[in-house]
Copies of this chain bind each other. A is one copy, B any other.
């Protein structure tokens, strides 16, 4: 199979930033074969009120109104059950995103912080909002970036047990352990898988800043488990690219000495996925993973979304395309994943 027609894809984990970077990134959504995106709230400052979310939504619409933008709030003390009730009444906000504290404290204190939000989770369950979990424990004497996801899984089980009707997405899962955990949970628990984690292991990012992200890519056995889950047809696993644009100067460390975490995949989102599925010999499973399962989990039709959501894309293995070296210009120039490498091609059907 060297060509395939699909409905436009949905990407349930994107970073579109704000300001000039937003201007650079938003036009690449459709280019990547995607008509609906679930937009992460980690701006500076983060999106913690309904008003902020609606204002951000309007800024995105102003750049490309043909895309459906679904918004999520940043879990923080400002998010109360009253805010959840208010958010649920909008047509734009569909979830709350939880980020780990990022502090080098022990994992127990991390778990305590989730308990603190149980009243919020109860309100989310009541109002049918989705909890988006960045599932990593803070570093400690026993936890590093390697097992930060696996050590978080008991917290996922805890929240799911306490709130069985709360829809939860374990975002950008990266390990065989996480795949198994999500499969073990009830149907209200799903996971997004990125494009880049279908390709990377630690060996690729160790010396390549453009492949470094959080959660970090792990072992070949973990990558194999992700490819298997993504191509399995299990509707618990669907596309969330976690595409994260950083200016090149933040990636190669010239700005701060450190490497910013994030891989930029937005402009070729579905093409990277198609290429990976093709390598696995499972292009037939692309539609479920990239188009259907996420929309079903988020109840797109049921919730009256997706009036603009649609269109048909055509993916082709031959001749394919070569990923450009950079997107954007000047200080905001971004290096896409696998720059210079050949991947599948994509066109929108007229």
Contact = CB atoms under 8 A, between A and B. Distances in A.
A22 interface: no
Chain A interface main SS type:
loop
Q: Assembly of this chain: how many copies? A: 2
Nearest to A254: B252
Nearest to A141: B220
Given A144-B201, A252-B254, A253-B253, A206 B212 contact: yes
Interface stretch (A71-79, A87-95, A255-263, A274-282): A255-263
Contacts of A210: 257
B145 A202 contact: yes
Contact of A207 (B201, B203, B258): B258
Given A202-B146, A203-B144, A220-B142, A254 B254 contact: yes
Interface in A236-267: 251-254, 257-261
A7 interface: no
Given A144-B220, A146-B202, A208-B253, 5 more contacts: A139-B203, A142-B220, A206-B259, A209-B209, A254-B254
Interface of A: 139, 141-142, 144-146, 201-203, 206-210, 212, 216, 219-221, 251-254, 257-261
